[in-house]
Amino acid sequence: MNWKLRAVRVVVSSTFLALPASLFAQAGFDGANLAMVTAHRTAATAATVPTAAGSGSSILSIGFASFRPASSAVTYDQDSDSHWFQTSGPTVPWTARVSLPTGAVVDSIDLDACVSSLTGGIGFFMTRSLAGGRDETRVINLQGAFHGASECELVSNTPSDPPLVIDNAAFNYWLVIVWVTDFSSANEVAGMRVHYHLQVSPDPAVATFTDVPVGHPQHRFVEALVAAGVTAGCGGGLYCPDNPVTRGQMAVFLSVALGLNWPN
């Protein structure tokens, strides 16, 4: 049976011991923050289909082919199941750019890996850098490694408070993978995933329409439609929140909000 399954959520969980902090010091990890890793045993169950829009959870999958090492001296290889592994040092971060819509909230990140090494491991985290700059802040951080008998797992990490809200005007975002000590097929990676959800912008302190003032129960949502160019109201500085919506108006609202288009 092939246990190298993709995008499979957990059924049974098991905990693997973290490796000594000294193994991760060379990779720039803070030994004081090394965490026990809860790995999840894969099982033949259907993956959850991500929500395309709205506040439900969505998934951005980034295959390992999108990751690049920080040194040209690194060598790597691929097995028959599209798992990748580093074959020689030095220990360096592998990074891949993350592109999410501004305002999205990151719920968790997954590492899709197969690990059987008892002497090394894989660290992973998410980082951000100032747009146009080099200063980096690790915003989601799981520092540790798991080991076992050819276990293929989706290992998850959830950010602590406050939640990570994407701000593309100020930051660039990256996923990072680091091989530690054991550069062999005993530590293989297929990729990473980012779980996120969308949210409506915070309620502004001003009102566009006199009939939907600040403090109105629908003020936040009406202002979001205005800011997105979905509505301009019903004329005369009014929104007419209690008027019925015609099928024609519904077509305008939905097509503009969803950006519907088709080949002409």
Is residue 234 within 8 A of residue 240, CB to CB? The reply is yes
What is the spatial order of strands in the sheet that 121-130 belongs to?
68-69, 93-98, 171-180, 121-130, 136-142
Residue spans of alpha helices (H) in 192-235:
219-227
Each residue's pLDDT tens digit, 60-72:
999 999 999 988 9
Q: What is the pLDDT of residue 150?
A: 55
Give the residues across from 13 on adjacent strands. Answer: 40
Domain span including residue 264: 201-264
The total of structural domains in the chain comes to 2
Q: What is the mean pLDDT of residues 114-136?
A: 78
Question: Is 24 within the bounds of a domain?
Answer: yes
pTM for the structure as a whole: 0.71
Q: Which residue has the higher pLDDT, 200 or 144?
A: 200
Position 21 pLDDT exceeds 50: no
56's tokens:
């439900």
170, 256: one domain: no
The residue ranges of DSSP E strands in the chain, in sequence order, are 12-16, 37-41, 57-63, 68-69, 75-78, 84-88, 93-98, 105-115, 121-130, 136-142, 151-157, 164-165, 171-180, 187-197
- Measured CA to CA, the distance from residue 23 to residue 31 in angstroms comes to 9
Q: In the predicted model, what is the mean pLDDT of residues 226-243?
A: 94
Computed from CA positions of residues 53, 48, 42, 163, in that sequence, does the dihedral angle turn out positive or negative? positive
Domain membership of residue 142 (yes or no) is yes
Mean of the pLDDT values across residues 142-163?
64
Residue 123 within any structural domain of the chain = yes
Same domain, 149 and 219: no
Max distance between CA atoms of the chain, in angstroms, equals: 72
Stretch 205-225: mean pLDDT, rounded?
95
Say which residue the tokens 């990151």 belong to: 106
Assess if residue 3 is contained within a domain. no
Same domain, 184 and 233: no
Same domain flag for 38 and 64: yes
Give a yes or no: residue 45 inside a domain: yes
Residue 223 banded pLDDT, cuts 50, 70, 90:
very high
Q: What is the pLDDT of residues 77-103, one digit of tens each?
A: 998 888 999 999 788 889 999 999 999
Q: Is the dihedral of CA 155, 161, 165, 170 positive or negative?
A: negative
Are 73 and 167 contained in the same domain? yes
Residues 56 and 162 in one domain: yes
Q: Measured between alpha carbons, how far is 91 from 24 in angstroms, rounded to an integer?
A: 9
Portion of the chain with pLDDT greater than 70, in percent: 71
Residues contacting 163, CB < 8 A, separation 6+: 105, 106
Closest residue by Cα to residue 27 from 128, 104, 122? 122
Stretch 217-246: mean pLDDT, rounded? 94
147 and 64 share one domain: yes
Q: What are phi and psi of 222, to 5 degrees?
A: -65, -45
Does the residue 6 lie in any domain? no
Q: Tell me the C-alpha distance between 24 and 69, whole Å.
A: 17
Rounded distance between C-alpha atoms, residue 39 and residue 146, angstroms: 7
pLDDT tens digits along 153-190? 777 777 766 788 899 999 999 998 888 778 988 889 99
User: Region 236-247: what's the mean pLDDT?
Assistant: 96
For residue 164, the domain's CATH number is: 2.60.120.260
User: Can you tell me the mean pLDDT for 11-40?
Assistant: 37
What pLDDT does residue 160 have? 65
Residue 159 and residue 253 in one domain: no
